[in-house]
């Protein structure tokens, strides 16, 4: 009995890529009262990514710190729908806006050709959360091949968030990073192994026919 060891070319190690980003736009700080949310949507291209980070520009707008809740939502007829990932509540300090990064630890998959929303809300009673928004079109963004981005404005809600119809004048800028890639084709060693297996199978078939 012959044992055949098949060696396939190893795929490269996964690394984080920018899935979509609109942080390069000209931004203006807008203060949110409690239970007010803003969101922007994006549609994936032909590639799936595992979401690793979401980055936003925020600062607090009152003497004490504010609490920001950041979530990933499903799309519901052009509006944020079901909350898919709650990235947690972050205590935002400092009047000047700066980048805040939320880490995704549950391996959430951004499926190909699917629309998602990134939303941020102020959950601090009687406090202001300063969120940087894009207020004047045109909007610009970068991202993975095939990715598209749409925008909505701030909207009143309750917690858990229920969004009003999207506004047309403002946009929540954010960056989503993830790991992913197309399924690799067999490398040289994999192709060689496939050829060896084919030759062995052919030889075994010939011997079986000769012994019949």
Condensed to tens digits (0 to 9), the pLDDT of residues 59-83 reads 988 888 999 999 999 988 887 888 9
Number of H helices, E strands in the chain: 1, 13
End-to-end alpha-carbon separation of the chain, Å? 19
The model's confidence at residue 19, banded by pLDDT at 50, 70 and 90, is: very high
Cβ neighbour number for residue 195 with a 10 Å cutoff: 10
Listed in sequence order, the DSSP H helices in the chain are 188-210
Residues 21-40 pLDDT 10s: 999 888 888 787 787 788 88
Q: Which tens digit of pLDDT belongs to each residue from 93-140?
A: 888 889 999 999 888 999 999 999 998 888 888 888 888 877 666 778
Question: How is the chain split into domains, by residue range?
Answer: 16-179
Class of 16-179 in CATH: mainly beta
Q: How far apart are CA 172 and CA 163, in angstroms?
A: 14
Cα-based distances in Å from 28 to 97, 100, 140, 170, 173:
10, 16, 15, 10, 10
3-state secondary structure of 207: helix
Residue with tokens 């963004």: 141
């Amino acid at each position: 009995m012959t044992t055949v060891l098949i060696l396939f070319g190893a795929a490269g190690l996964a690394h984080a890529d920018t899935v979509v980003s609109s942080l390069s736009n000209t931004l203006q700080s807008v203060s949110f009262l409690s239970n007010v949310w803003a969101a922007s949507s994006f549609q994936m291209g032909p590639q799936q990514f595992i979401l690793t980070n979401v980055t936003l520009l925020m600062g607090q707008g009152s003497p004490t710190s504010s609490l920001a809740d950041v979530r990933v939502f499903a799309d519901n007829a052009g509006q944020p729908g079901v909350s898919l990932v709650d990235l947690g509540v972050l205590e935002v300090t400092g009047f000047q806006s700066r980048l805040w990064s939320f880490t995704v630890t549950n391996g959430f998959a951004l499926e190909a050709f699917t629309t998602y929303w990134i939303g941020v809300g102020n959950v601090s009673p009687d406090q202001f959360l300063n969120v940087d928004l894009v207020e004047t079109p045109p909007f610009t963004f970068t991202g993975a091949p095939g990715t598209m981005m749409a925008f909505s404005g701030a909207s009143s809600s309750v917690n858990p968030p229920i969004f009003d119809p999207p506004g047309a004048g403002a946009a929540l800028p954010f960056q989503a990073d993830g790991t992913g890639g197309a399924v690799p084709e067999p490398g040289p060693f994999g192709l060689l192994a496939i050829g060896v297996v084919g030759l062995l199978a052919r030889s075994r078939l010939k011997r079986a026919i000769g012994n019949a």
